[in-house]
Structure formats: structure tokens, C-alpha cells
């Protein structure tokens, strides 16, 4: 199945993919693209409006808002992707072990997952951050500890579904090693499910990271982060509302792009959804979501 040939017919999906790639490239190349140092304080430029040198103006310390917005991509997007990769790696490994070998191994892993998932994600993350303290390292640890269990449970369900197929049973009966079966037969068919799960989780994680930074529990000053920029602009939200627009719109655009991309990938990967997709069903889907 050619995923790209199916995805390129979805204009919203392609636009979302281009947006995500462009923002990631800008974040990686932030030292080159940003017009000013995001940490440089210049009180003479405090609350200045838009100029040719500072396109989005300056904040309460005279720092360049555009430069801080560009550097804010790193913790707001790139850090989320890094956390997601680690969480998926742990969850996928445990999910494959539980779903393939079953028995006592499955029971122990699932009981741990049940304990982790029995608490709301925000509450668990707040508890871990409260114990470890605020800061970048602790928020990363908190997110990894609270996210892996959900990925493990979903991957385990997917693996158990495919291990019951006849060709997997035949491979086991033929004496082929479990590692070879997992690598050759199980991983390729579960890759589609893993891709959809990952892409659909990024949006909520971006909102959570920004939310914790807005509350002062995530990225700490003076580092630039979109949620913290919203918190800093809260004091002048009525006199200088444009200071909240830049990080707010950036969060909305990126969360929407990842959500639209997740839907497009799901349709491109699953042939049944691709064949049944039509303008009528697509418009009805968005009506329900809105």
C-alpha cells in the first residue's frame, strides 16, 4: 500500500504536513532564522509596537516577540516530539511483549497499566511534578511516566488482534523464532496503528505542555515557550492583546495541523476508510467534530 499516493489526494492533509515540516525546520534552525536574541532585555523598547526591526513588537522586558516565538518552537513542538518518541518506544516494547507472549507477562504489564491509567492524566502529571519539582527535566519525566501506559495498552490490543491470524500461527508451528515473527510479520501490520496513535496524540500533548508552562509548572523563565508567553502577556491582555495573539495563534495552528494530519494518515493507511471516503462523508465528519 502506497501511503503517500493516498495522502497526496487529501489537500488538508498535505497542507497540514507542509505546515508541520516547515515549523519543525524553523525550530531547528532558530539561531539562524530568529532576527534577535530572545533573551536580550532592552527596557527602552518595553511594550513597543510592530516595527521593521521587530515585526511583532516587544514584550514587557523589551525582548523580541518574533524571536521568542521562533525559539518557542523547540520546547512547544520539538520537545513534545521527543517525549512522544520515548513514550511510544517504552509503550510499544511493553505492548508487544504483553500482546504476543500473553500469560503472566501480559497480566503483570496490564496491571501496572491499569494502575497508571486509573488516575486522570493531568492529576498524575501534577502529582509527579509536585513531588519532583518544577522544571524542564521533571516535566519530561512526568509526561513519559503518564503516557507510556496508554500506548502500551493500545499496542497490546493491536498485537493480540494480529497474532491470532492463521499465518502467524503457522509461523509459530513451523518453529520460527518469536523475534523473527515479531520483526517480520507483526511489526509491519501494526505500524499503521502506531502511526495513527502517535500523530493523534501530539496535539493534546502540545496543549498540555503549554498549559503547564502557563501555570508556571513547565518551562521556566527566561526561556521562550508559547504557554509561558501567554502567561507573561496575561497582565496586559486588555491594553496589549496582540501580545497574546502570536503564541495563541501558533498553538491553535499547530494543534489543528497535527489533528488534521492524523485524520489524513488514518484514511491514507486504512484502505477501507480510503475507499469509503467521499465529499459527503467527509463533510459530515467535520460537522460532527465541530
Give the tens place of pLDDT for each residue, 44-63.
Answer: 888 887 888 888 888 888 88
> pLDDT confidence of 285, banded at 50, 70, 90?
very low
CB-based contacts of 132, cutoff 8 Å, min separation 6: 138, 141, 142
Distance between CA atoms of residues 238 and 279, nearest Å: 42
Which residue, 19, 59, 60, is CA-closest to 250?
19
Confidence (pLDDT) at 213 = 85
Backbone angles phi, psi at 178, to 5 degrees: -60, -40
Sign, CA torsion 173/174/175/181: negative
User: Is 64 in a helix, a strand, or coil?
Assistant: strand
> pLDDT confidence of 242, banded at 50, 70, 90?
confident
Residues above pLDDT 90, as percent of the chain: 11
What cell does 20 get? 508541520
Whose cell is 532576527? That residue is: 35
Q: Across residues 249-261, what is the average pLDDT?
A: 91
Q: Across residues 192-217, what is the average pLDDT?
A: 82
Task: Say what the alpha-carbon torsion angle 168, 174, 175, 178 is, to the nearest 10 degrees.
Answer: -10
Confidence (pLDDT) at 253 = 93
Q: Across residues 7-23, what is the average pLDDT?
A: 86
Distance between CA atoms of residues 174 and 74, nearest Å: 49
Residues above pLDDT 70, as percent of the chain: 91
The half-sphere exposure of 136 on its side-chain side, counting CA atoms within 13 A, is 14
pTM equals 0.80
What cell does 154 get? 493500545
CB-based contacts of 141, cutoff 8 Å, min separation 6: 128, 132
- Prior bond to 77 cis, omega within 30? no
> pLDDT confidence of 11, banded at 50, 70, 90?
confident
Q: Across residues 132-150, what is the average pLDDT?
A: 84
Distance between CA atoms of residues 32 and 250, nearest Å: 20
Running DSSP on this structure, what letter comes out for residue 49?
Answer: -
The model's pLDDT over 224-239, given as tens digits with 9 standing for 90+, comes to: 888 888 888 888 878 7
Amino acid at each position: 500500500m502506497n501511503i503517500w499516493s493516498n495522502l497526496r489526494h487529501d489537500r488538508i492533509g498535505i497542507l497540514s504536513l507542509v505546515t508541520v515540516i516547515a515549523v519543525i525546520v524553523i525550530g531547528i534552525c532558530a539561531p539562524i532564522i530568529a532576527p534577535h536574541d530572545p533573551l536580550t532585555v532592552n527596557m527602552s523598547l518595553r511594550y513597543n509596537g510592530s516595527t521593521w526591526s521587530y515585526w511583532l513588537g516587544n514584550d514587557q522586558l523589551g525582548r523580541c516577540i518574533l524571536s521568542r516565538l521562533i525559539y518557542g518552537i523547540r520546547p512547544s513542538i520539538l520537545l513534545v516530539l521527543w517525549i512522544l518518541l520515548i513514550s511510544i518506544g517504552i509503550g510499544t516494547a511493553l505492548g508487544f511483549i504483553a500482546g504476543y507472549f500473553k500469560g503472566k507477562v501480559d497480566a503483570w504489564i496490564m496491571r501496572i497499566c491499569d494502575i497508571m491509567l486509573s488516575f486522570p492524566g493531568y492529576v498524575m502529571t501534577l502529582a509527579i511534578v509536585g513531588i519532583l519539582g518544577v522544571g524542564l527535566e521533571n516535566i519530561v519525566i512526568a509526561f513519559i511516566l503518564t503516557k507510556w501506559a496508554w500506548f502500551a495498552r493500545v499496542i497490546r490490543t493491536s498485537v493480540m488482534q494480529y497474532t491470532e491470524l492463521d499465518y502467524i500461527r503457522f509461523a509459530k508451528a513451523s518453529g520460527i523464532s518469536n523475534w523473527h515473527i515479531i520483526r517480520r510479520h507483526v511489526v509491519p501490520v501494526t505500524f499503521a496503528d502506531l502511526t495513527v496513535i502517535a500523530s493523534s496524540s501530539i496535539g493534546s500533548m502540545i496543549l498540555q505542555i503549554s498549559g503547564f508552562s502557563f501555570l508556571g509548572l513547565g518551562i521556566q523563565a527566561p526561556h521562550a515557550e508559547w504557554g509561558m508567553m501567554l502567561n507573561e502577556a496575561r497582565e496586559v491582555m486588555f491594553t496589549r492583546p496582540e501580545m497574546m495573539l502570536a503564541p495563541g495563534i501558533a498553538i491553535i495552528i499547530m494543534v489543528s495541523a497535527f489533528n488534521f494530519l492524523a485524520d489524513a494518515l488514518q484514511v491514507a493507511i486504512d484502505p477501507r476508510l480510503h475507499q469509503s471516503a467521499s465529499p459527503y462523508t467527509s463533510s459530515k465528519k467535520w460537522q460532527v467534530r465541530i
